[in-house]
Amino acid sequence: MHEKEHRRPCITIASTDKELLIYLQTLTEGTINNKKNYNPERHKDSYTLNIKNKETVLYILKYVAPYLRVDKKRNRALWILENYEKVTPRNGKYNSILLERKIAFEDSFFRI
């Protein structure tokens, strides 16, 4: 039986300043992607830094959450910090109770 993959928290930072993202990449071990520029005469090239390592994501959220100005983003960050570890077993194995909690966590996250 194949277990359903659950969503994991990640952080994506978009910028036209590639040097900034390269610097942040050295701190976070994230991955930089180029975004397609459909109108180069009008727009600068843009990049995204994707950070997926759980410990790194939680560490960053802990420090940036108080400074997030968009309510939805701040509330989602706080929800992850307060609840993610409680509903995620370290070995990745879910019994029926843990699975219910994980699904409820994800549903609540997307309602924020």
Vertex 85, ends 15 and 80: CA angle to 5°?
40
Look at residue 34 and tell me if it is in a domain. yes
Look at residue 81 and tell me if it is in a domain. yes
Look at residue 88 and tell me if it is in a domain. yes
Domain with residue 16: its CATH number is: 3.10.28
66-94 pLDDT, tens digit each: 999 999 999 999 999 999 999 998 887 88
Taking the CA atoms of 87, 93, 99 and 102 in sequence, report the sign of the dihedral they define. positive
Look at residue 5 and tell me if it is in a domain. no
Q: What is residue 1's predicted lDDT score, i.e. its pLDDT?
A: 38
36-49 pLDDT, tens digit each: 888 888 888 899 99
Number of domains within the chain: 1
Vertex 17, ends 38 and 56: CA angle to 5°?
110
Mean pLDDT of the chain: 91
Contact at 8 Å (CB) between 68 and 79?
no
The domain in which residue 64 lies consists of 11-111
pTM: 0.81
Sorting pLDDT into bands at 50, 70 and 90, what band is 35?
confident
